[in-house]
Structure formats: C-alpha cells, structure tokens
C-alpha cells in the first residue's frame, strides 16, 4: 500500500522525480554542450568519441542522485549539482589529459554548476520575496548557459570577433542574442514563479482535503479509494465489531458545563483512537460517548478491548466513570453509503446491531463476547463466566462470555 498511497502520489514516484530533475536541471548544460561540440567536430566524429557518452552519463547520474536526495531531510543541492561536472571531468581527462582544461566550455560546466548549486541551496533557506528573487536569478543564470556557449562557439569559428567586447557586440546579431536570452530567462522565471505559487496552493489545499477525508474515512480507507475508486463499493464481509460506551456518562454530564464535557470527550476520543490504530482497526467512528470499531479478526477486536478497558477505563475512573464493551463477529455489509452527492463509510447488518446490544448489557469495566466471537478467539485469551442476556430485537436470549 505504501507505494500507491495518497501520500506517495502527492510526493511523486521516484521515476517522475528523476525525469523532472533530469530535464528540469541536470541536463541543461550537457544538452547545450553536446550541440556545441557536435557543431565543432561534426556529428559522426562526435558520436564516435567518448565525449557524448561521458557527459550523458554524468547528467543522468547527477539527476538520479539529486532526485533520491530530494525526499530526504538533506537534499544537498550544492554538492549534487557538482556530480555531473566532476564525473565528466574524471572520464574525459582520462582521455584528453591536461588539454581537457584548456577548453572554455569544460570550465563553463563547472562555473554554472557551482552557481546553480549555490542558488538552489540559498533558495531553500528563503521565503517570500527573497525566495522569488533567488529563483529569478537562478532562471536567468540557467538561460545564460545558452549565451555563454554561443559566445564560446563564436570564439572558435570567428576568433577575430573576440579582439574586444566592443568588436563582438558590433555584430548586431550578437547584441540581439545577448539581450534576448537573459530576457527570455526572466520571462521563464516569472512564469515558473507563478506556477510554483499555484502549485503550492494546490499542495496546501490537497493537504487540507486529505486531512478532512482522513477524519471521515481514516488513512487506510482513503489510500484504498484513491488507488481504486471502486474499492469501497458496499460488499458483504466477515468482520468483528466492537462497541464501547461510557457508563454513567448521562448523569455525570448533566451536572457539568458543556465545555468540560467536550474536553473530557476529546481526551476519551484521543485515547480510543490511539488504541484502535495500534490494533489494525478497519474503521472506527465516534457518536457522543460511544465508539464503534470494525476489525478484520476477533483476536484484534479482543486485544483492542483489553487495551481500551485499561487505558480509557483508567482515564474515566478519575471522574467516577467506567466503560462497557461488547464484541460480536459475523457477516455485514461495509462500504460507502449515501446519495449521489453525499456518501459516508459505514457498516450495516445484524452483526452490528447485535454487538451494540451486547455492549448495552456490559457493566462498567466489563467486556462481553458473543458466542460466535468466543468460538473464534484463540486459547491465549482468558474467558471467564458465561451468562444469558435478553436483548432488544431478539426472540431468544444471547449467550455472552466475559473476557478477562
């Protein structure tokens, strides 16, 4: 379930993060460098040399490392951006020797990697306008890769134009490129900034919706329905149903201000939720002083009952209150119920009604099991005396067993 959960979807898959890192960052300089060397050396000669494969491998390794680090507490953007040029330098200098460092575009790879790595590191520590300014600077720097390699290309094919900057910019096409590329980088930065803010709004909204949905469904059920919209279609299942109710709650609450009652219930709900989640509960819900919980097995329901009696019981005993618990097992229908516009997850059937009736027969501190629940229980649980109880809606009394 972890690989397909809602949280995993919002975080993105490893493949998606790798592709985004590769084409959104790590491959920018290598692509421009490949085009430069291909034009200088000729396509056939270039693909026969190790240069193309070395720089391609370098940017792929860098993207892989950065995409893996992105989900950790230490993304290491600065050092990660140096992986590409470092690997490229090691491989190429083995073939070219000191001549490798005489080529200006090889040094430019290091320069842009350091600059972008620093900007990305700084951006993660900024917020608001400061973060936006760094993002714009990074985008303009990234766009300047093309300008720098264009200038390097011109230095190879037209070295006479590089006598001075004035001579270089005397060619109006050079001036056009020098002005257009940074402006396009600025335009891309503003568009990216707007997209990032909108994406952040969507993420915050999705986090809110996820929280509200988990309140109604629980995390496990929410993950299931996100992966498969039909997963919670009403279906017949064998379940163990547990009810717990506070004994003496009505009389106690009549003499207390409503704020105190709510505070006590909130604490009681938190204790119940903590316990139930430890015992692989399928679904639980609160209604006043009552808690309904559905489990896949009787053993889990019984273990949760003992835990609830110990923890919730001790908490309520401070106010002179106690808990009664009933457990029954059998078939029921569970799933999303409701109209086309409003649905809720619930369990329906005689198994649920019987569990509620058994809980109603339990005294303070007592856990009662139905006969089917008792028969499904492992010998490791201690079961005490049995008795007959008359319950509403049943013609014959039920046999119930005390869980010790």
Q: Taking the model in full, what pTM does it have?
A: 0.61
Q: What is the CA radius of gyration of the chain?
A: 34
DSSP reduced 3-state for 364: coil
Confidence of residue 4 (pLDDT cuts 50, 70, 90): very low
Distances (CA, A) of 348 to 188, 201, 225, 241: 56, 39, 19, 11
Higher pLDDT, 390 or 220: 390
Q: What's the pLDDT score for residue 287?
A: 87
- pLDDT per residue as tens digits for the range 238-291: 999 999 999 999 999 998 999 999 999 999 999 999 999 999 898 898 988 999
Range with the poorest average pLDDT among 3-12, 103-112, 142-151: 3-12
- CA 280 vs. chain centroid, Å, equals 21
Using the predicted structure, report yes or no on whether residue 107 has a pLDDT greater than 90: yes
pLDDT of residue 7: 59
- Pairing state between β 235-247 and 290-295: antiparallel
CATH number 3.30.70.1230 is the correct assignment for the domain at 232-403: yes
- pLDDT-based confidence at 342, cuts 50/70/90? confident
pLDDT digit string (tens) for 62-71? 999 999 998 8
Q: Give me the long-range contacts of 146-153 (CB less than 8 A, separation at least 24).
A: 146/32, 146/181, 147/177, 147/178, 147/181, 147/182, 148/108, 148/112, 149/32, 149/33, 149/35, 149/36, 149/105, 149/108, 150/177, 150/181, 152/36, 152/104, 152/105, 152/108, 153/36, 153/39, 153/40
Burial (0-12, 13-18, 19+ Cβ within 10 Å), 340: exposed
Say if residue 6's pLDDT is above 60.
Answer: no
Give domain limits for the chain: 2-216, 232-403
pLDDT of residue 127 exceeding 90: no
Residues 182 and 143 sit within 8 Å (Cβ to Cβ): yes
């Amino acid at each position: 379930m972890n690989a397909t959960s809602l949280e995993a979807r919002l975080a993105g898959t490893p493949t998606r993060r790798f592709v985004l890192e590769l084409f959104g960052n790590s491959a920018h300089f290598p692509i421009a460098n490949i085009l430069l060397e291909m034009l200088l050396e000729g396509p056939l000669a270039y693909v026969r040399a190790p240069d193309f494969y070395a720089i391609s491998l370098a940017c792929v390794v860098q993207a892989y490392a950065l995409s893996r680090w992105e989900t950790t507490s230490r993304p290491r953007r600065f050092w990660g951006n140096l992986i590409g040029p470092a690997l490229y330098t090691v491989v190429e200098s083995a073939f070219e020797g000191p001549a490798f460092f005489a080529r200006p575009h090889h040094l430019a790879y290091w320069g842009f990697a350091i600059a972008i790595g620093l900007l990305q590191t700084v951006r993660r520590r900024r917020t608001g306008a400061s973060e936006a300014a760094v993002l714009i600077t990074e985008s303009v720097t990234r766009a300047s890769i093309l300008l720098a390699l264009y200038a390097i290309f011109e230095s190879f094919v037209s070295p006479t134009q590089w006598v001075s900057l004035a001579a270089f910019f005397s060619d109006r096409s050079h001036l056009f490129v020098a002005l257009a590329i940074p402006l396009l980088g600025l335009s891309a930065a503003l568009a990216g900034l707007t997209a990032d803010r909108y994406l952040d709004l969507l993420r915050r909204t999705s986090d809110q919706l996820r929280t509200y949905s988990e309140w109604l469904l629980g995390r496990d059920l929410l993950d299931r329905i996100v992966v498969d919209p039909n997963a919670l279609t009403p279906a017949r299942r064998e379940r163990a149903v547990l009810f717990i109710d506070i004994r003496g709650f009505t009389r106690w609450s009549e003499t207390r201000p409503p704020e105190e009652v709510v505070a006590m219930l909130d604490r009681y709900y938190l204790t119940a939720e903590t316990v139930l989640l430890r015992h692989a509960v399928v679904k639980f819900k609160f209604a006043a002083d009552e808690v309904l919980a559905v489990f896949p097995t009787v053993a889990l329901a019984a273990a949760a009952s003992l835990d609830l009696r110990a923890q919730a019981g001790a908490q309520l005993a401070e106010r002179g209150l106690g808990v009664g618990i009933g457990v029954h097992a059998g078939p029921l229908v569970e799933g999303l119920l409701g109209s086309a516009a409003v649905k809720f997850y619930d369990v329906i059937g005689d198994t649920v009604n019987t569990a509620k009736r058994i809980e109603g027969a339990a005294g303070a501190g007592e856990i009662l099991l139905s006969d089917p629940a008792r028969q499904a229980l492992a010998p490791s649980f201690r079961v005490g005396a049995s008795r007959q109880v008359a319950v509403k809606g049943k013609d014959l009394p039920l046999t119930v067993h005390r869980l010790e």
